Structure 1
Amino acid sequence: MNQEDAMNLLIQWLRDPNHGGYGSYGYDIYIPNLLRGFLIQEYRNDQQALEMRIRELIPVFYAVGWELCRRGILRPGVNKHQAQATEEGSAGAGYSITPFGAQWLEEADHDNWVPTEPGRFAEMLAEYRDLFGVGFHQRSQEAIKCYGAHAYVACAAMCGAAAESVILAAAIHKTDEDRVLSQYKAASGRKRIENLLVGKARTQLKDEYAGYSVLLRYWRDESAHGTQSSVQDNEAYTSLALLLRLCKFINDHWLELTQ
Protein backbone atom coordinates (compact mmCIF):
# COMPACT_ATOMS: atom_id res chain seq x y z
CA MET A 1 0.00 0.00 0.00
CA ASN A 2 1.44 3.36 -1.01
CA GLN A 3 0.85 6.75 0.56
CA GLU A 4 -1.92 7.74 -1.82
CA ASP A 5 -3.89 4.55 -1.13
CA ALA A 6 -3.48 5.18 2.59
CA MET A 7 -4.63 8.78 2.14
CA ASN A 8 -7.80 7.66 0.37
CA LEU A 9 -8.56 5.14 3.11
CA LEU A 10 -7.91 7.61 5.91
CA ILE A 11 -10.22 10.20 4.32
CA GLN A 12 -12.94 7.56 4.09
CA TRP A 13 -12.39 6.69 7.74
CA LEU A 14 -12.57 10.33 8.76
CA ARG A 15 -16.01 10.52 7.18
CA ASP A 16 -17.12 7.17 8.59
CA PRO A 17 -14.73 5.95 11.31
CA ASN A 18 -14.83 2.26 12.18
CA HIS A 19 -12.65 1.34 15.12
CA GLY A 20 -14.44 -1.98 15.47
CA GLY A 21 -14.71 -2.93 19.11
CA TYR A 22 -11.37 -1.34 19.95
CA GLY A 23 -12.45 2.26 20.49
CA SER A 24 -10.65 5.54 19.88
CA TYR A 25 -10.05 6.66 23.50
CA GLY A 26 -10.29 10.46 23.59
CA TYR A 27 -9.35 10.94 19.92
CA ASP A 28 -11.55 11.29 16.86
CA ILE A 29 -9.41 8.68 15.13
CA TYR A 30 -6.92 6.21 16.55
CA ILE A 31 -4.92 4.84 13.64
CA PRO A 32 -3.85 1.44 15.07
CA ASN A 33 -7.45 0.58 15.92
CA LEU A 34 -8.76 1.80 12.57
CA LEU A 35 -6.32 -0.57 10.94
CA ARG A 36 -7.39 -3.40 13.24
CA GLY A 37 -11.02 -2.81 12.32
CA PHE A 38 -10.08 -2.74 8.64
CA LEU A 39 -7.93 -5.90 8.70
CA ILE A 40 -9.78 -8.04 11.24
CA GLN A 41 -11.84 -9.96 8.69
CA GLU A 42 -8.74 -10.96 6.75
CA TYR A 43 -6.76 -11.99 9.83
CA ARG A 44 -9.54 -13.05 12.19
CA ASN A 45 -7.94 -16.39 13.00
CA ASP A 46 -4.33 -15.22 13.14
CA GLN A 47 -3.71 -12.50 15.74
CA GLN A 48 0.05 -12.62 15.24
CA ALA A 49 -0.27 -12.04 11.50
CA LEU A 50 -2.73 -9.20 12.17
CA GLU A 51 -0.29 -7.38 14.44
CA MET A 52 2.56 -7.92 11.97
CA ARG A 53 0.45 -6.47 9.15
CA ILE A 54 -0.45 -3.46 11.29
CA ARG A 55 3.24 -2.84 12.01
CA GLU A 56 3.96 -3.00 8.27
CA LEU A 57 1.23 -0.55 7.31
CA ILE A 58 1.21 1.91 10.18
CA PRO A 59 4.22 4.04 9.11
CA VAL A 60 2.48 5.13 5.90
CA PHE A 61 -0.71 5.94 7.82
CA TYR A 62 1.27 8.01 10.30
CA ALA A 63 2.73 9.87 7.31
CA VAL A 64 -0.67 10.67 5.81
CA GLY A 65 -2.01 11.59 9.24
CA TRP A 66 0.75 14.17 9.51
CA GLU A 67 0.06 15.35 5.94
CA LEU A 68 -3.55 16.03 6.93
CA CYS A 69 -2.27 17.90 9.98
CA ARG A 70 -0.07 19.98 7.71
CA ARG A 71 -3.13 20.84 5.65
CA GLY A 72 -5.11 21.83 8.74
CA ILE A 73 -7.61 18.97 8.54
CA LEU A 74 -6.34 17.05 11.57
CA ARG A 75 -4.37 17.93 14.67
CA PRO A 76 -2.52 15.60 17.05
CA GLY A 77 -4.18 15.02 20.40
CA VAL A 78 -7.52 14.39 22.08
CA ASN A 79 -10.73 16.01 20.90
CA LYS A 80 -11.64 17.81 24.15
CA HIS A 81 -10.21 18.87 27.49
CA GLN A 82 -9.38 15.99 29.83
CA ALA A 83 -10.40 13.35 27.29
CA GLN A 84 -8.61 10.03 27.61
CA ALA A 85 -5.10 10.09 26.13
CA THR A 86 -2.72 7.19 25.66
CA GLU A 87 1.04 7.05 25.40
CA GLU A 88 0.78 5.63 21.89
CA GLY A 89 -1.82 8.21 20.91
CA SER A 90 0.43 11.05 22.08
CA ALA A 91 3.27 9.52 20.07
CA GLY A 92 1.41 9.86 16.78
CA ALA A 93 -1.44 7.35 16.77
CA GLY A 94 -4.28 9.65 17.85
CA TYR A 95 -5.71 12.63 15.97
CA SER A 96 -8.71 14.92 16.17
CA ILE A 97 -10.54 16.73 13.38
CA THR A 98 -10.15 20.51 13.29
CA PRO A 99 -13.11 22.85 12.61
CA PHE A 100 -11.68 23.45 9.13
CA GLY A 101 -11.31 19.69 8.71
CA ALA A 102 -14.96 19.11 9.58
CA GLN A 103 -15.99 21.60 6.90
CA TRP A 104 -13.50 20.13 4.42
CA LEU A 105 -14.89 16.63 4.91
CA GLU A 106 -18.44 17.83 4.25
CA GLU A 107 -17.55 19.57 1.02
CA ALA A 108 -16.03 18.21 -2.19
CA ASP A 109 -16.68 14.66 -3.35
CA HIS A 110 -13.55 14.60 -5.56
CA ASP A 111 -10.99 14.57 -2.76
CA ASN A 112 -10.53 10.81 -2.77
CA TRP A 113 -9.66 10.87 -6.49
CA VAL A 114 -7.70 14.07 -6.92
CA PRO A 115 -4.80 13.67 -4.55
CA THR A 116 -2.83 16.56 -3.20
CA GLU A 117 0.92 16.66 -2.80
CA PRO A 118 2.35 14.15 -2.12
CA GLY A 119 0.23 12.00 -4.41
CA ARG A 120 -0.15 10.42 -7.79
CA PHE A 121 -1.56 13.55 -9.40
CA ALA A 122 1.38 15.62 -8.20
CA GLU A 123 3.77 12.93 -9.36
CA MET A 124 2.19 12.85 -12.82
CA LEU A 125 2.63 16.59 -13.22
CA ALA A 126 6.12 16.47 -11.70
CA GLU A 127 7.21 14.19 -14.54
CA TYR A 128 7.11 17.23 -16.83
CA ARG A 129 9.36 19.39 -14.67
CA ASP A 130 12.48 18.88 -16.79
CA LEU A 131 10.62 19.59 -20.02
CA PHE A 132 8.60 22.62 -18.95
CA GLY A 133 10.83 24.09 -16.26
CA VAL A 134 10.86 25.06 -12.61
CA GLY A 135 8.20 27.75 -13.10
CA PHE A 136 5.74 25.17 -14.39
CA HIS A 137 6.55 22.78 -11.57
CA GLN A 138 6.07 25.43 -8.90
CA ARG A 139 2.72 26.57 -10.27
CA SER A 140 1.33 23.10 -10.92
CA GLN A 141 2.18 21.91 -7.40
CA GLU A 142 0.68 25.08 -5.93
CA ALA A 143 -2.51 24.37 -7.90
CA ILE A 144 -2.76 20.93 -6.31
CA LYS A 145 -2.19 22.36 -2.83
CA CYS A 146 -4.89 24.97 -3.42
CA TYR A 147 -7.35 22.31 -4.52
CA GLY A 148 -6.60 20.29 -1.41
CA ALA A 149 -7.37 23.35 0.72
CA HIS A 150 -10.61 23.98 -1.25
CA ALA A 151 -9.17 27.29 -2.46
CA TYR A 152 -10.75 26.75 -5.86
CA VAL A 153 -10.25 30.22 -7.32
CA ALA A 154 -6.55 30.06 -6.47
CA CYS A 155 -6.37 26.55 -7.93
CA ALA A 156 -7.80 27.72 -11.25
CA ALA A 157 -5.44 30.69 -11.32
CA MET A 158 -2.43 28.45 -10.71
CA CYS A 159 -3.58 25.97 -13.37
CA GLY A 160 -3.76 28.81 -15.86
CA ALA A 161 -0.34 30.09 -14.81
CA ALA A 162 1.14 26.59 -15.12
CA ALA A 163 -0.41 26.23 -18.58
CA GLU A 164 1.25 29.48 -19.65
CA SER A 165 4.57 28.12 -18.39
CA VAL A 166 4.04 25.09 -20.63
CA ILE A 167 3.41 27.26 -23.69
CA LEU A 168 6.33 29.52 -22.90
CA ALA A 169 8.71 26.57 -22.54
CA ALA A 170 7.67 25.13 -25.89
CA ALA A 171 7.84 28.51 -27.65
CA ILE A 172 11.29 29.24 -26.20
CA HIS A 173 12.53 25.87 -27.42
CA LYS A 174 11.13 26.67 -30.88
CA THR A 175 12.80 30.09 -31.17
CA ASP A 176 14.78 31.80 -28.43
CA GLU A 177 14.07 33.04 -24.94
CA ASP A 178 14.60 36.77 -25.49
CA ARG A 179 12.21 36.89 -28.44
CA VAL A 180 9.52 34.89 -26.69
CA LEU A 181 9.67 36.84 -23.43
CA SER A 182 9.62 40.12 -25.31
CA GLN A 183 6.46 39.11 -27.16
CA TYR A 184 4.90 37.66 -24.02
CA LYS A 185 5.32 40.92 -22.10
CA ALA A 186 3.80 42.98 -24.92
CA ALA A 187 0.09 43.62 -25.45
CA SER A 188 -1.84 40.40 -26.19
CA GLY A 189 1.31 38.54 -25.26
CA ARG A 190 -0.32 35.21 -24.55
CA LYS A 191 -2.09 35.17 -27.91
CA ARG A 192 1.18 36.02 -29.66
CA ILE A 193 2.93 33.08 -28.04
CA GLU A 194 0.09 30.71 -28.89
CA ASN A 195 0.21 31.84 -32.52
CA LEU A 196 3.95 31.32 -32.55
CA LEU A 197 3.53 27.78 -31.29
CA VAL A 198 0.41 26.48 -33.07
CA GLY A 199 -0.39 29.15 -35.64
CA LYS A 200 1.04 27.11 -38.53
CA ALA A 201 0.30 23.69 -37.09
CA ARG A 202 -2.05 21.30 -38.85
CA THR A 203 -5.74 21.74 -38.12
CA GLN A 204 -6.04 18.65 -35.95
CA LEU A 205 -3.33 19.91 -33.59
CA LYS A 206 -4.83 23.40 -33.48
CA ASP A 207 -8.25 22.05 -32.58
CA GLU A 208 -6.92 19.73 -29.90
CA TYR A 209 -4.81 22.49 -28.36
CA ALA A 210 -7.81 24.84 -28.34
CA GLY A 211 -9.86 22.26 -26.46
CA TYR A 212 -7.31 22.22 -23.64
CA SER A 213 -6.50 25.90 -23.57
CA VAL A 214 -9.86 27.68 -23.84
CA LEU A 215 -11.25 26.73 -20.44
CA LEU A 216 -7.89 27.06 -18.71
CA ARG A 217 -7.55 30.54 -20.15
CA TYR A 218 -11.12 31.49 -19.22
CA TRP A 219 -10.83 30.37 -15.61
CA ARG A 220 -7.39 31.94 -15.27
CA ASP A 221 -8.76 35.27 -16.47
CA GLU A 222 -11.90 35.07 -14.35
CA SER A 223 -10.00 34.19 -11.19
CA ALA A 224 -7.59 37.08 -11.76
CA HIS A 225 -10.33 39.73 -11.91
CA GLY A 226 -11.57 41.62 -8.88
CA THR A 227 -15.20 40.59 -9.24
CA GLN A 228 -16.74 37.57 -7.56
CA SER A 229 -15.68 34.39 -9.32
CA SER A 230 -17.90 31.47 -10.31
CA VAL A 231 -15.03 28.99 -10.00
CA GLN A 232 -16.03 26.20 -7.63
CA ASP A 233 -15.04 22.59 -7.03
CA ASN A 234 -16.01 21.24 -10.45
CA GLU A 235 -14.24 24.02 -12.34
CA ALA A 236 -11.08 23.65 -10.28
CA TYR A 237 -11.14 19.88 -10.73
CA THR A 238 -11.55 20.26 -14.48
CA SER A 239 -8.72 22.80 -14.55
CA LEU A 240 -6.35 20.26 -12.98
CA ALA A 241 -7.42 17.57 -15.43
CA LEU A 242 -7.03 19.91 -18.42
CA LEU A 243 -3.60 21.00 -17.24
CA LEU A 244 -2.44 17.39 -17.13
CA ARG A 245 -3.90 16.71 -20.57
CA LEU A 246 -2.27 19.84 -21.97
CA CYS A 247 1.10 18.68 -20.64
CA LYS A 248 0.67 15.29 -22.27
CA PHE A 249 -0.45 16.87 -25.54
CA ILE A 250 2.55 19.20 -25.77
CA ASN A 251 4.90 16.40 -24.75
CA ASP A 252 3.47 13.97 -27.32
CA HIS A 253 3.74 16.53 -30.14
CA TRP A 254 6.88 18.29 -28.93
CA LEU A 255 8.95 17.81 -32.09
CA GLU A 256 6.16 18.82 -34.44
CA LEU A 257 5.25 21.92 -32.44
CA THR A 258 8.78 23.15 -31.76
CA GLN A 259 10.50 22.58 -35.11
Structure 2
Amino acid sequence: MITIDDAIEYIIEQMLSPRKTGHDHGLGDDDHSVIMINIIQNYIRREHPQVSGSELYQYFPTYSQHFLDAAHELSRRGVFRIGPHRMERNGESLKKCYVLTEFGQKWIDTRKTSGVPPMEPGRYPQLIAEYAKLFGSGFQQRATEAIKCYQAQAYLACCAMVGAAAESILLYVAINKSGDEIEVLKKYGQSGGAGKIKNDILAGKKSSERQHFEGIYELMKYWRDESAHGKQSNLSELEAHMSLFLLIRHATFVRDQIAVYTQK
Protein backbone atom coordinates (compact mmCIF):
# COMPACT_ATOMS: atom_id res chain seq x y z
CA MET A 1 0.00 0.00 0.00
CA ILE A 2 1.37 3.40 -0.97
CA THR A 3 2.16 5.90 1.78
CA ILE A 4 2.74 9.66 1.74
CA ASP A 5 6.46 8.90 1.98
CA ASP A 6 6.31 6.77 -1.17
CA ALA A 7 4.42 9.54 -2.95
CA ILE A 8 6.97 12.22 -1.97
CA GLU A 9 9.82 10.01 -3.12
CA TYR A 10 8.11 9.39 -6.46
CA ILE A 11 7.30 13.08 -7.00
CA ILE A 12 10.96 13.97 -6.45
CA GLU A 13 12.01 11.14 -8.76
CA GLN A 14 9.75 12.58 -11.46
CA MET A 15 11.13 16.08 -10.91
CA LEU A 16 14.68 14.77 -11.34
CA SER A 17 14.03 12.50 -14.31
CA PRO A 18 14.97 13.61 -17.84
CA ARG A 19 12.13 15.38 -19.62
CA LYS A 20 9.88 13.13 -21.66
CA THR A 21 7.57 14.15 -24.44
CA GLY A 22 3.99 15.31 -24.17
CA HIS A 23 1.95 14.51 -21.09
CA ASP A 24 4.36 11.90 -19.76
CA HIS A 25 6.37 14.32 -17.66
CA GLY A 26 5.51 15.83 -14.28
CA LEU A 27 6.67 19.33 -15.22
CA GLY A 28 4.88 21.73 -17.52
CA ASP A 29 6.41 23.40 -20.54
CA ASP A 30 7.93 26.14 -18.37
CA ASP A 31 9.65 23.61 -16.04
CA HIS A 32 7.92 25.25 -13.05
CA SER A 33 4.33 24.02 -13.33
CA VAL A 34 3.94 20.70 -11.55
CA ILE A 35 1.31 18.58 -13.28
CA MET A 36 0.17 16.20 -10.58
CA ILE A 37 -2.22 14.33 -12.85
CA ASN A 38 0.73 13.27 -15.03
CA ILE A 39 2.76 12.22 -12.01
CA ILE A 40 -0.10 10.11 -10.68
CA GLN A 41 -0.74 8.59 -14.10
CA ASN A 42 2.94 7.66 -14.39
CA TYR A 43 2.80 6.02 -10.98
CA ILE A 44 -0.32 4.05 -11.92
CA ARG A 45 1.34 2.94 -15.17
CA ARG A 46 4.34 1.72 -13.20
CA GLU A 47 2.23 -0.15 -10.65
CA HIS A 48 -0.33 -1.45 -13.17
CA PRO A 49 1.46 -1.81 -16.52
CA GLN A 50 -1.48 -3.69 -18.02
CA VAL A 51 -3.76 -0.63 -17.66
CA SER A 52 -3.95 2.08 -20.32
CA GLY A 53 -6.11 4.92 -21.58
CA SER A 54 -9.20 5.89 -19.63
CA GLU A 55 -8.80 2.80 -17.45
CA LEU A 56 -6.11 4.71 -15.54
CA TYR A 57 -8.73 6.92 -13.92
CA GLN A 58 -10.34 4.07 -12.03
CA TYR A 59 -7.21 4.04 -9.84
CA PHE A 60 -7.31 7.76 -9.02
CA PRO A 61 -9.45 7.32 -5.88
CA THR A 62 -6.88 4.79 -4.63
CA TYR A 63 -3.78 6.93 -5.14
CA SER A 64 -4.84 10.58 -5.33
CA GLN A 65 -5.16 11.16 -1.57
CA HIS A 66 -1.57 10.09 -0.91
CA PHE A 67 -0.20 12.26 -3.71
CA LEU A 68 -2.29 15.24 -2.61
CA ASP A 69 -1.04 14.78 0.95
CA ALA A 70 2.51 14.56 -0.41
CA ALA A 71 2.00 17.74 -2.45
CA HIS A 72 0.66 19.47 0.66
CA GLU A 73 3.73 18.40 2.65
CA LEU A 74 6.01 19.75 -0.07
CA SER A 75 3.95 22.95 -0.11
CA ARG A 76 4.36 23.24 3.65
CA ARG A 77 8.11 22.96 3.21
CA GLY A 78 8.01 25.74 0.62
CA VAL A 79 8.86 23.52 -2.36
CA PHE A 80 5.44 23.91 -4.04
CA ARG A 81 2.77 26.53 -3.91
CA ILE A 82 -0.39 25.06 -2.41
CA GLY A 83 -2.90 23.68 -4.92
CA PRO A 84 -6.61 22.73 -4.82
CA HIS A 85 -8.43 21.07 -1.95
CA ARG A 86 -9.11 17.78 -3.72
CA MET A 87 -8.97 15.96 -7.05
CA GLU A 88 -11.97 15.11 -9.17
CA ARG A 89 -12.21 11.58 -10.55
CA ASN A 90 -11.00 12.65 -14.01
CA GLY A 91 -8.09 14.60 -12.53
CA GLU A 92 -8.82 17.76 -14.52
CA SER A 93 -8.72 20.01 -11.45
CA LEU A 94 -5.04 19.25 -10.91
CA LYS A 95 -3.65 20.30 -14.27
CA LYS A 96 -0.82 22.76 -13.67
CA CYS A 97 -2.20 23.73 -10.26
CA TYR A 98 1.08 23.26 -8.37
CA VAL A 99 4.08 25.47 -9.07
CA LEU A 100 7.69 25.08 -7.99
CA THR A 101 8.67 28.05 -5.84
CA GLU A 102 12.06 29.72 -6.19
CA PHE A 103 13.17 27.80 -3.11
CA GLY A 104 11.63 24.63 -4.54
CA GLN A 105 13.65 24.93 -7.73
CA LYS A 106 16.86 25.29 -5.72
CA TRP A 107 15.78 22.38 -3.50
CA ILE A 108 15.27 20.16 -6.55
CA ASP A 109 18.53 21.33 -8.15
CA THR A 110 20.42 20.52 -4.94
CA ARG A 111 19.24 16.93 -5.14
CA LYS A 112 20.61 16.63 -8.65
CA THR A 113 24.11 17.23 -7.31
CA SER A 114 24.12 16.24 -3.63
CA GLY A 115 22.20 12.99 -3.73
CA VAL A 116 20.71 13.76 -0.29
CA PRO A 117 17.53 11.69 -0.05
CA PRO A 118 14.32 13.31 1.17
CA MET A 119 13.57 13.02 4.86
CA GLU A 120 10.27 11.21 5.00
CA PRO A 121 7.56 12.77 7.19
CA GLY A 122 6.07 9.46 8.28
CA ARG A 123 8.73 6.77 8.63
CA TYR A 124 11.23 8.60 10.81
CA PRO A 125 8.67 9.46 13.52
CA GLN A 126 7.59 5.81 13.47
CA LEU A 127 11.17 4.79 14.24
CA ILE A 128 11.38 7.42 16.96
CA ALA A 129 8.18 6.13 18.55
CA GLU A 130 9.65 2.63 18.74
CA TYR A 131 12.82 3.82 20.48
CA ALA A 132 10.82 6.09 22.79
CA LYS A 133 9.42 2.95 24.40
CA LEU A 134 12.95 2.28 25.64
CA PHE A 135 14.56 5.70 26.04
CA GLY A 136 11.53 7.61 27.29
CA SER A 137 9.50 10.71 26.54
CA GLY A 138 12.50 13.05 26.77
CA PHE A 139 14.14 11.26 23.86
CA GLN A 140 10.91 11.22 21.86
CA GLN A 141 10.28 14.93 22.41
CA ARG A 142 13.74 16.00 21.28
CA ALA A 143 13.96 13.58 18.35
CA THR A 144 10.51 14.67 17.15
CA GLU A 145 11.53 18.32 17.38
CA ALA A 146 14.65 17.47 15.37
CA ILE A 147 12.65 16.08 12.45
CA LYS A 148 10.27 19.06 12.58
CA CYS A 149 13.26 21.40 12.38
CA TYR A 150 14.65 19.44 9.44
CA GLN A 151 11.37 19.61 7.55
CA ALA A 152 11.26 23.37 8.17
CA GLN A 153 14.81 23.69 6.73
CA ALA A 154 16.04 24.80 10.18
CA TYR A 155 19.13 22.61 9.92
CA LEU A 156 21.07 24.29 12.71
CA ALA A 157 18.20 23.70 15.14
CA CYS A 158 17.85 20.13 13.86
CA CYS A 159 21.46 19.33 14.80
CA ALA A 160 20.95 20.90 18.23
CA MET A 161 17.90 18.76 18.93
CA VAL A 162 19.63 15.60 17.70
CA GLY A 163 22.40 16.28 20.21
CA ALA A 164 19.79 16.76 22.94
CA ALA A 165 18.11 13.47 21.98
CA ALA A 166 21.49 11.72 22.14
CA GLU A 167 21.92 13.03 25.69
CA SER A 168 18.52 11.54 26.58
CA ILE A 169 19.97 8.17 25.56
CA LEU A 170 23.02 8.93 27.68
CA LEU A 171 20.82 9.67 30.69
CA TYR A 172 18.86 6.46 30.21
CA VAL A 173 22.01 4.34 30.20
CA ALA A 174 23.56 6.18 33.16
CA ILE A 175 20.42 5.87 35.29
CA ASN A 176 20.08 2.17 34.53
CA LYS A 177 23.73 1.55 35.35
CA SER A 178 23.73 3.61 38.55
CA GLY A 179 20.26 2.77 39.80
CA ASP A 180 20.12 6.26 41.37
CA GLU A 181 18.19 8.60 39.08
CA ILE A 182 18.38 11.58 41.44
CA GLU A 183 22.16 11.38 41.70
CA VAL A 184 22.60 11.00 37.94
CA LEU A 185 20.36 13.99 37.20
CA LYS A 186 22.20 16.03 39.81
CA LYS A 187 25.54 15.26 38.18
CA TYR A 188 24.07 15.91 34.72
CA GLY A 189 23.04 19.40 35.83
CA GLN A 190 26.60 20.31 36.77
CA SER A 191 29.05 22.03 34.46
CA GLY A 192 30.22 19.43 31.94
CA GLY A 193 27.63 17.04 33.35
CA ALA A 194 27.04 15.10 30.14
CA GLY A 195 30.75 14.33 29.88
CA LYS A 196 30.86 13.21 33.50
CA ILE A 197 28.03 10.71 33.19
CA LYS A 198 29.44 9.46 29.88
CA ASN A 199 32.71 8.74 31.67
CA ASP A 200 30.79 6.94 34.42
CA ILE A 201 29.12 4.74 31.80
CA LEU A 202 32.40 3.90 30.08
CA ALA A 203 34.46 3.40 33.23
CA GLY A 204 36.07 -0.03 33.14
CA LYS A 205 34.92 -0.80 29.61
CA LYS A 206 37.17 -2.30 26.97
CA SER A 207 38.79 0.04 24.47
CA SER A 208 36.61 -1.30 21.64
CA GLU A 209 33.46 -0.78 23.71
CA ARG A 210 34.47 2.78 24.50
CA GLN A 211 35.24 3.56 20.87
CA HIS A 212 31.94 2.22 19.58
CA PHE A 213 29.93 4.24 22.09
CA GLU A 214 31.94 7.44 21.86
CA GLY A 215 32.35 7.51 18.07
CA ILE A 216 28.78 8.36 17.10
CA TYR A 217 27.93 10.22 20.31
CA GLU A 218 30.86 12.61 20.02
CA LEU A 219 29.99 13.51 16.42
CA MET A 220 26.41 14.37 17.39
CA LYS A 221 27.74 16.31 20.38
CA TYR A 222 30.06 18.25 18.08
CA TRP A 223 27.14 19.28 15.86
CA ARG A 224 25.13 20.28 18.91
CA ASP A 225 27.99 22.36 20.31
CA GLU A 226 28.51 23.93 16.89
CA SER A 227 24.86 24.96 16.77
CA ALA A 228 24.94 26.35 20.32
CA HIS A 229 27.72 28.89 19.69
CA GLY A 230 26.98 32.49 18.79
CA LYS A 231 29.17 32.47 15.70
CA GLN A 232 27.82 31.77 12.23
CA SER A 233 27.62 28.07 11.46
CA ASN A 234 28.07 26.25 8.17
CA LEU A 235 25.87 23.30 9.16
CA SER A 236 23.78 22.44 6.11
CA GLU A 237 21.07 19.99 5.10
CA LEU A 238 23.71 17.32 4.58
CA GLU A 239 24.89 17.51 8.21
CA ALA A 240 21.32 17.67 9.50
CA HIS A 241 20.33 14.64 7.44
CA MET A 242 23.38 12.73 8.63
CA SER A 243 22.74 13.67 12.25
CA LEU A 244 19.22 12.22 12.09
CA PHE A 245 20.58 9.03 10.55
CA LEU A 246 23.29 8.75 13.21
CA LEU A 247 20.76 9.28 16.00
CA ILE A 248 18.85 6.20 14.87
CA ARG A 249 22.09 4.28 14.46
CA HIS A 250 23.23 5.25 17.95
CA ALA A 251 19.84 4.36 19.44
CA THR A 252 19.97 0.96 17.73
CA PHE A 253 23.50 0.29 18.95
CA VAL A 254 22.72 1.23 22.56
CA ARG A 255 19.51 -0.81 22.54
CA ASP A 256 21.35 -3.90 21.29
CA GLN A 257 24.29 -3.44 23.68
CA ILE A 258 22.44 -2.10 26.72
CA ALA A 259 23.58 -5.00 28.92
CA VAL A 260 27.22 -4.16 28.21
CA TYR A 261 26.95 -0.49 29.15
CA THR A 262 24.76 -0.89 32.23
CA GLN A 263 26.97 -3.56 33.76
CA LYS A 264 28.69 -2.22 36.86
Report the TM-score when normalising by structure 1. Answer: 0.82
Structure 1 distance, partners of 2:21, 2:42, is 5
2:23 is aligned to: 21
Q: 1:212 aligns with which of 210, 216, 229?
A: 216
Q: Structure 1: where are the runs of 5+ without partners?
A: 79-85
> What does residue range 12-161 of structure 1 map to in structure 2 within 5 Å?
12-15=13-16, 20-21=22-23, 28-40=33-45, 43=49, 46-47=52-53, 49-77=55-83, 88-89=93-94, 94-108=97-111, 109-111=114-116, 113-118=117-122, 120-161=123-164
| Cα distance, 1:6–1:87 mapped onto 2, change above 3 Å | closer
TM-superposition CA deviations, 1:193-236 (whole Å, max 9, x none)? 10122223333221101111121111111111011223223322
Return the letter of the residue paired with 1:125.
I
Q: Out of 154-163 and 34-43, give the one that drifted further.
A: 34-43
Structure 2 residue 187 is matched with structure 1 residue 180: no
Q: Point out 4+ residue stretches in structure 1 off by more than 3 angstroms.
A: 14-20, 22-27, 37-49, 108-111
| Cα distance, 1:57–1:243 mapped onto 2, change above 3 Å | same
2:252 is aligned to: 248
Report the TM-score when normalising by structure 2. Answer: 0.80
Structure 2 distance, partners of 1:52, 1:70, is 29
| Cα distance, 1:35–1:166 mapped onto 2, change above 3 Å | same
Return the letter of the residue paired with 2:249.
R
Q: Structure 2: where are the runs of 5+ without partners?
A: 85-90
Return the letter of the residue paired with 2:145.
E
CA RMSD of aligned residues (A): 3.0
* Structure 2 contact 45–52 (Cα < 8 Å) conserved: no
1:82 is aligned to: none
Structure 2 distance, partners of 1:19, 1:159, is 44
Structure 2 distance, partners of 1:173, 1:126, is 20
Q: Out of 171-180 and 142-151, give the one that drifted further.
A: 142-151
TM-superposition CA deviations, 1:45-90 (whole Å, max 9, x none)? 6435422233322221111111112222222249xxxxxxx97339
Return the letter of the residue paired with 1:35.
I
Q: Out of 224-233 and 156-165, give the one that drifted further.
A: 224-233
* Structure 2 contact 9–118 (Cα < 8 Å) conserved: no
Q: Percent identity?
A: 35
Structure 2 distance, partners of 1:180, 1:19, is 64
Structure 1 distance, partners of 2:13, 2:195, is 44
* Length, aligned pairs only: 248
